[in-house]
Chain A
Amino acid sequence: MAESALAPAIAASSSRFRRVRRPRSNRDDTAGILMSLPAVLGLIAFIAVPFFAAVALSLFNVQVNQIRPAVFVGLDQYIRLFTDPVVSGAFLRSLLNNFVFAIVVIPVQTGLALLLAVLLNRKLRSVRFFRTFFFMPVVFPMALVAVIWRLILDRSSDGLLNSSVSFITGGLVPAQDWLGSSATALGSVILLSIWQGVGFQMVIILAGLQDIPEERYEAARLDRANGWQQFIHVTIPGVRNTLIFVLLLTTIMAFRVYDQAYILIRTGGANENATQTVLYQATNALSADNNLGRASAISVFLFVVVVIITLIQRRMLRQRSED
């Protein structure tokens, strides 16, 4: 997941060199083709083929493991996603959930990651310990995180969160069904997702922060800039490109949220209507309805949504090269 997300950044940085034209010999070409072959074959086999297969499958009424022939239905699967009352209710709700998730998670998680990174970019004695500590949830698989948070969010008055709230407020607030109630279910999922994911963005921003030359801060201090001014005028511009990358990464991750929703709905009693996501709908179309065509249509639709949002973001935050 991290690798594929890093690919655009690598492509972006290498595009700088593409302009340089050099006379190339045939031998260079052959070697180049040979060396890129494993990666290209991998991309074709694991990205291009499944993607085009999904596009093709979305035009058919086709079941997994079915001996009966697939029936061509054109755009029917897409139309039904939005008009068939049986299908569209859950699908549109999951789309809404995805957007709410993204709108909350993208700014909060990026902001929090920036804050943590700045805090941990100090020369403290125990800074290594804190960096490890904040990065740790990233190492946990989402399944484990979901199971832990299932206990924290337990609806009984003995649940960790409920007993803490009751202790802090002196028993004024009664036990809440954090995952089950439609008002708090998505919020709970957002909370645990940020807790799990923030360390990853933090580490990337931390790396960006350490690239900012110390001289700039010295110069700023000579100009009597206070800490806030240094942050706004030195730190932020210094990590601008890193922040843009993190923002794009978080956006993509926010739209493919699945694991925690699935685990909490299936085993944690989470409110299905309030926490289902588009990917959850896609897998549900397969596991519950055995409908490969609809699952493919949902995946293709999600792809288009993510591409559009990424393009808009890139246009708004056009990457400036520093020099």
Chain B
Amino acid sequence: MQSNRAARRGGLAALAALTALTVITGCSSAGDGNQSGAGDGTGPIEIWAHQGNDAEVAALQATVDSFNSSQSDIEASLRLIPADTYTQTIANTPADKLPDVLDIDSPTLASFVYNQKLSPLSEYVDQTTIDNATPGSIAEGTYDGELYGLAQFDAAIGLLGNRSILEAAGVTIPTSVDEAWTADEFADVLEKVAAVSPSGKAIDLREGGFSGEWGTFAFSPLLYSAGGAILEDGRASGALDSDASIEALTTFASWKPYVASGQDGKAFPSAQVGLLWGGHWLYPNAKAGLGENVVALPLPDLGNGAKADAGSWTWGIGASTQNGKATGVFLDYLLNDDNVNAMVEANGAPPATQSTFADASLYQTGGDLALWGEQLAKACAADAVTDACVSVYRPMTPGYPTITARFGSALAAVYRGADPKTELTNAAQAIDSNFADNNDYK
């Protein structure tokens, strides 16, 4: 019995050592600097994409089909992956198993570049395609001075207003980004709108999602508007916990008494509240409920001009493609006017190429979302924010998952009454600590 147990222990120890060895070597030998090859511009190419809504899938499939029938040298095949596991799937796939072409949620692009999963585009994509990209598309696709992603469409964030409720409340309705409500004006607007809204509340902030990506996407621009930032020179301390950032979240938390808590998102389309903090994807529903009463407004201006987030899915080339030329031809085709128009018609998003954006009636003068179009035309990256720019893209860093998790937690806690200084200081320290653990992602 005794010897039996000893033998068993020995077996377990051996197993432990073996597992450890497998795990460690498995981790370190995952990629040895995969190099892409240009190929001769013919042959099969594989495309991975997240499975968006049905209309988006149909538009993408139609693009791939028409690409295949338009020429005979390249055979593109499309593989759809469920959207909620898409980023994880890419993250867990070794670089040499990745496809030739893939779409990427833009805040995660930097981490894929850092892990050598993407190839720079300029070698393979036609220069006219790159020149035609909107400044936003370039901003969300560039990391470390190199272009890795080009987008078909962007995302627009702002306030949606119910014109008749706003008029009943007697508030001035901004007609351009420059006329955005200031912090004081916005507080006054909330009070007046709440008084005339059927629910007794003024605005739906979709507060259930504060600690998820929604929190960072929708509310981190407040920091820039107040003169703060998330990162400065790669450090969160001194930026995220600066006085300006603290003031931004203090102002934000003061809106709570006027916020409708409904989790179903129906408060605004059913005219229970007069305002909605939302994006272009909420517009169709609002339009269906309120008709001509829907008006797009800028987010409040906390001092340095109104700022709003932007950025959506973008297209890149796998690091190990041996068919670079062919993937470039496909991306040129994917980003031409017809295919971009087909996609934005399917999902209502603002197009991310200059030629199509100029023709997007919804976002141009006279369109319902013209004001958001104006925002997107003034885009900048998170590390180059100026007073003039409105759309600020999320920070391009491999540490983005930490940033969004910490900022979301802090935002939710402050909203619930926690001290903004404490929460933001903790968040900044946690972000910096993560960067330090990863050697600053160098």
Is A154 a contact partner of B437 (Cβ separation < 8 A)? no
Cβ–Cβ < 8 Å partners of A242 in chain B: none
Chain A min CB distance to B317 (Å): 18
Is B416 a contact partner of A181 (Cβ separation < 8 A)? yes
Is A67 a contact partner of B115 (Cβ separation < 8 A)? yes
Q: Which of A56, A89, A154, A155 has the most CB of B within 10 A?
A: A56
Q: Which of B15, B115, B409 contacts A65 (CB 8 A)?
A: B115
Q: Which positions 269-294 of chain A face chain B at CB distance < 8 Å?
A: 269, 271-273, 284, 287-291
Confirm or deny: B386 has a beta carbon within 8 angstroms of a beta carbon on chain A.
no
Is A84 a contact partner of B115 (Cβ separation < 8 A)? no
Q: Which positions 104-140 of chain B face chain A at CB distance < 8 Å?
A: 115-116
- Proximity string of chain B (61-92) to chain A, C-beta cutoff 8 Å, 1 when within and 0 when not: 00000000000000000000000000000011
Is B211 a contact partner of A67 (Cβ separation < 8 A)? no
Confirm or deny: B406 has a beta carbon within 8 angstroms of a beta carbon on chain A.
yes
Q: Which residue of B lies closest to A61 (CB)?
A: B437
| Given A86-B433, A289-B402, A265:B20 Cβ within 8 A | no
Chain B min CB distance to A227 (Å): 46
Q: Which of A44, A66, A269 contacts B208 (CB 8 A)?
A: A269
Cβ–Cβ < 8 Å partners of A151 in chain B: 263
What is the CA–CA distance of A46 and B8 in the complex, to the nearest angstrom?
Answer: 19
Confirm or deny: B164 has a beta carbon within 8 angstroms of a beta carbon on chain A.
no
Confirm or deny: A255 has a beta carbon within 8 angstroms of a beta carbon on chain B.
no
- Proximity string of chain B (196-210) to chain A, C-beta cutoff 8 Å, 1 when within and 0 when not: 000001000001111
Cβ–Cβ < 8 Å partners of B92 in chain A: 64-65
Q: Which positions 395-420 of chain B face chain A at CB distance < 8 Å?
A: 401-402, 405-406, 409, 412-413, 416, 418
Cβ–Cβ < 8 Å partners of A271 in chain B: 413, 416
Is B212 a contact partner of A266 (Cβ separation < 8 A)? yes
Cβ–Cβ < 8 Å partners of B31 in chain A: 67
| Given A49-B15, A269-B208, A272-B409, A69:B28 Cβ within 8 A | yes
What is the CA–CA distance of A56 and B405 in the complex, to the nearest angstrom?
Answer: 27
Chain A min CB distance to B99 (Å): 17
Cβ–Cβ < 8 Å partners of A155 in chain B: 261
Is A62 a contact partner of B27 (Cβ separation < 8 A)? yes
What is the CA–CA distance of A86 and B260 in the complex, to the nearest angstrom?
Answer: 34
Chain B min CB distance to A61 (Å): 7
Q: Which residue of B lies closest to A156 (CB)?
A: B261
What is the CA–CA distance of A64 and B426 in the complex, to the nearest angstrom?
Answer: 24
Is A269 a contact partner of B91 (Cβ separation < 8 A)? no
Confirm or deny: A126 has a beta carbon within 8 angstroms of a beta carbon on chain B.
no
Confirm or deny: B438 has a beta carbon within 8 angstroms of a beta carbon on chain A.
yes
Confirm or deny: A267 has a beta carbon within 8 angstroms of a beta carbon on chain B.
yes
What is the CA–CA distance of A266 and B20 in the complex, to the nearest angstrom?
Answer: 34
Is B212 a contact partner of A267 (Cβ separation < 8 A)? yes
Q: How many residues of B contact A (CB 8 A)?
A: 44
Cβ–Cβ < 8 Å partners of B43 in chain A: none
Is B27 a contact partner of A287 (Cβ separation < 8 A)? no
Cβ–Cβ < 8 Å partners of A48 in chain B: 12, 15
Is A291 a contact partner of B434 (Cβ separation < 8 A)? yes
A: interface residue count bin: 35 or more
Is A265 a contact partner of B211 (Cβ separation < 8 A)? yes
Confirm or deny: B16 has a beta carbon within 8 angstroms of a beta carbon on chain A.
yes
Cβ–Cβ < 8 Å partners of B201 in chain A: 156
Confirm or deny: B6 has a beta carbon within 8 angstroms of a beta carbon on chain A.
no
Confirm or deny: B251 has a beta carbon within 8 angstroms of a beta carbon on chain A.
no
Cβ–Cβ < 8 Å partners of B416 in chain A: 177, 180-182, 269, 271
Confirm or deny: A57 has a beta carbon within 8 angstroms of a beta carbon on chain B.
yes
Confirm or deny: A101 has a beta carbon within 8 angstroms of a beta carbon on chain B.
no
| Given A62-B27, A272-B211, A288-B401, A156:B260 Cβ within 8 A | yes
Confirm or deny: A60 has a beta carbon within 8 angstroms of a beta carbon on chain B.
yes
Chain B min CB distance to A141 (Å): 16
| Given A52-B19, A70-B28, A289-B434, A65:B91 Cβ within 8 A | yes
Q: Which residue of A lies closest to B418 (CB)?
A: A273
| Given A69-B28, A288-B405, A288-B406, A273:B413 Cβ within 8 A | yes
- Proximity string of chain A (131-152) to chain B, C-beta cutoff 8 Å, 1 when within and 0 when not: 0000000000000000000110
Confirm or deny: A230 has a beta carbon within 8 angstroms of a beta carbon on chain B.
no
| Given A70-B28, A265-B211, A84:B23 Cβ within 8 A | no
| Given A61-B437, A70-B28, A291-B434, A269:B207 Cβ within 8 A | yes
Confirm or deny: A55 has a beta carbon within 8 angstroms of a beta carbon on chain B.
yes
Is B19 a contact partner of A56 (Cβ separation < 8 A)? yes
Chain B min CB distance to A284 (Å): 7
Confirm or deny: A197 has a beta carbon within 8 angstroms of a beta carbon on chain B.
no
Confirm or deny: A312 has a beta carbon within 8 angstroms of a beta carbon on chain B.
no
Q: Which of B16, B208, B434, B438 contacts A268 (CB 8 A)?
A: B208
What is the CA–CA distance of A26 and B231 in the complex, to the nearest angstrom?
Answer: 70
Chain A min CB distance to B10 (Å): 14
Cβ–Cβ < 8 Å partners of B7 in chain A: none
Chain B min CB distance to A266 (Å): 5
Q: Which residue of A lies closest to B405 (CB)?
A: A288
What is the CA–CA distance of A26 and B153 in the complex, to the nearest angstrom?
Answer: 70
Confirm or deny: A53 has a beta carbon within 8 angstroms of a beta carbon on chain B.
yes
Confirm or deny: B30 has a beta carbon within 8 angstroms of a beta carbon on chain A.
yes
Instruction: List 19 additional A-B contacts (Cβ < 8 Å) besides A159-B261, A284-B405.
Output: A52-B12, A53-B22, A56-B20, A56-B23, A65-B91, A89-B426, A154-B262, A155-B261, A180-B416, A181-B416, A266-B209, A266-B212, A268-B208, A269-B261, A272-B413, A289-B401, A289-B402, A290-B401, A291-B437
Contacts A/B (CB < 8 Å), 9 sampled: A44-B15, A52-B12, A53-B22, A67-B31, A67-B115, A267-B209, A272-B409, A272-B413, A273-B418
Residues of B at under 8 Å CB distance from A?
Answer: 12, 15-16, 19-20, 22-24, 27-28, 30-31, 91-92, 95, 115-116, 201, 207-212, 260-263, 401-402, 405-406, 409, 412-413, 416, 418, 426, 429-430, 433-434, 437-438
Residues of A at under 8 Å CB distance from B?
Answer: 44, 48-49, 52-53, 55-57, 60-70, 84-87, 89, 150-151, 154-156, 159, 177, 180-182, 265-269, 271-273, 284, 287-291
